[in-house]
Amino acid sequence: MLYSIALVTSMIVALLLKLPIIPKEKPIRFSFQTSVVFPTPILALGIEAIFRNLFGNYMALAFFAGLFAALMSRYADKLFGEP
For residue 46, count CB atoms less than 10 angstroms from its CB and return exposed for 0-12, middle for 13-18, buried for 19 or more. middle
Residue numbers of the domain that contains 23: 2-80
Q: Which of 36, 70, 69, 65 shows the shortest CA–CA distance to 48?
A: 65
Query: How many domains are there within the chain?
Result: 1
Give the angle 22-65-52 at the CA atoms, nearest 5°.
130
> HSE of 1 in the Cβ direction (CA atoms, 13 Å)?
4
User: For residue 5, what is the DSSP state?
Assistant: H
In this model, does residue 50 exceed pLDDT 90?
Answer: yes
Q: What is the pLDDT of residues 52-80, one digit of tens each?
A: 999 999 999 999 999 999 999 999 888 88
Residue 72 has what pLDDT?
A: 94
With cut-offs at 50, 70 and 90, classify the pLDDT of residue 44.
very high
The neighbour count for residue 52, using CB atoms within 10 Å, is: 17
pTM here is: 0.89
Q: In the predicted model, what is the mean pLDDT of residues 39-57?
A: 95
Residue 33 has what pLDDT?
A: 82
